[in-house]
């Protein structure tokens, strides 16, 4: 197993940005695991399916193509909502688990961001971060991001989305969003992107110094 950096946390906390920057710093491949659930939700809706239909959602998850993660539709507000609704289904999570575990184990290392990386996918990860920020700050960031992508959205609606998604993600029975006991909490509410990355880098460097691998 390589030096896996697991970056978990709620929507729009900045975990993806931090994960991508860490991956660049160390030269490791990065996986945004949320894209897997987003892609399942997007295809299911495009096929006219129902997000609560476990069999249909599982059939999509089983046949997911990596190219589907690259589509602009997976980055929309609706895709985030759909993702959290298909992510409650255990068979969907099972279909996506092996791919994530294989990605996690590669040498010399990898970075994965999501909700359950440090708790379920790879509890053995030598470096674990739980990135968070207040719901208001996260809503502001997500609002800016979606607006920059050309999606017309209201801040109040995005804040409501964030609160619902936090509740659904932390309240589900399979792989709920929770900080692993040994994950370092990083609250980025008052931090710029550079400040958050700097703090994350220090946490990872400390974990690397203690790592017994190569
Ligand atoms: O980008 P954002 O933080 O809004 O969400 P995301 O990371 O793209 O994840 C979308 C949804 O997928 C989350 O709200 C979770 O319900 C689900 N997800 C999950 O269950 N497990 C993961 N490892 C990653 C995402
Ligand atoms: O992956 P996750 O949904 O947690 O968040 P992200 O996509 O990394 O970040 C959401 C948005 O907030 C992006 O547009 C980032 O550039 C921005 N951001 C920020 O303004 N300040 C931070 N400290 C972190 C992220």
Count of domains in the chain? Answer: 1
Whether residue 184 lies inside any domain: the answer is yes
Give the CATH number, domain containing residue 170.
Answer: 3.40.50.300
* Pocket lining: 11 vs ligand 2, CB cutoff 6 Å: yes
Whether residue 7 lies inside any domain: the answer is yes
| pLDDT value of position 184 | 98
Whether residue 189 lies inside any domain: the answer is yes
3-state secondary structure of 7: strand
Query: Alpha-carbon distance 54 to 5, whole Å?
Result: 31
**Low-confidence spans in the chain with pLDDT less than 50:** none
Residue 4's closest CA among 22, 198, 15?
22
In the structure encoding, which two tokens stand for residue 206, read together? 């400390």
Whether residue 101 lies inside any domain: the answer is yes
Could you say which ligand is closest to the alpha carbon of residue 112? 1
* Half-sphere exposure for 7 (CA within 13 Å, toward CB): 33
Could you say which ligand is closest to the alpha carbon of residue 129? 2
Q: Which atom of ligand 2 is nearest to the CA of 144?
A: 14
| pLDDT value of position 44 | 98
| pLDDT value of position 168 | 97
ipTM of the complex: 0.98
Give residue 147's domain range.
Answer: 3-208
Whether residue 173 lies inside any domain: the answer is yes
Query: Which amino acid residue places its CA nearest to atom 20 of ligand 2?
Result: 141
Whether residue 214 lies inside any domain: the answer is no
What is the value of pTM for the model shown?
Answer: 0.97
| pLDDT value of position 73 | 97
Q: Which atom of ligand 2 is nearest to the CA of 10?
A: 4
In the structure encoding, which two tokens stand for residue 6, read together? 């697991």
Whether residue 213 lies inside any domain: the answer is no
- 157-166, pLDDT tens digit by residue? 999 999 999 9
Whether residue 155 lies inside any domain: the answer is yes
DSSP E strand stretches across 41-150: 109-114, 127-132
- 14-31, pLDDT tens digit by residue? 999 999 999 999 999 999
- 36-65, pLDDT tens digit by residue? 999 999 999 999 999 999 999 999 999 999
Distance from the alpha carbon of residue 193 to the mean position of ligand 2, in angstroms:
7
In the structure encoding, which two tokens stand for residue 27, read together? 């030269």
| pLDDT value of position 213 | 83
């Amino acid at each position: 197993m390589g030096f896996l950096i697991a970056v978990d946390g709620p929507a729009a906390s900045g975990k993806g940005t931090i994960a991508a920057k860490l991956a660049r710093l160390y030269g490791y491949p990065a996986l945004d695991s949320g894209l897997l659930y987003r892609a399942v939700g997007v295809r299911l809706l495009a096929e006219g399916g129902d997000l609560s239909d476990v069999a249909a959602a599982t059939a999509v998850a089983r046949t997911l193509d990596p190219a589907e993660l690259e589509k602009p539709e997976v980055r929309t507000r609706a895709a985030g909502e759909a993702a959290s609704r298909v992510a409650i289904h255990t068979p969907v999570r099972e279909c996506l688990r092996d791919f994530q575990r294989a990605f996690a184990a590669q040498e010399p290392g990898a970075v994965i961001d999501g909700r359950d990386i440090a708790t379920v996918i790879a509890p053995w990860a030598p470096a674990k971060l739980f990135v968070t920020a207040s719901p208001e700050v996260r809503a502001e960031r997500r609002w800016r991001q979606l607006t920059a992508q050309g999606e017309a959205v209201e801040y109040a609606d995005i804040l409501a989305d964030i609160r619902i998604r936090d509740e659904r993600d932390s309240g589900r029975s399979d792989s709920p969003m929770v900080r692993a006991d040994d994950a370092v909490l990083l609250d980025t509410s008052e931090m710029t992107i550079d400040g958050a990355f700097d703090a994350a880098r220090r946490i990872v460097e400390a974990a690397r110094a203690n790592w017994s691998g190569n």
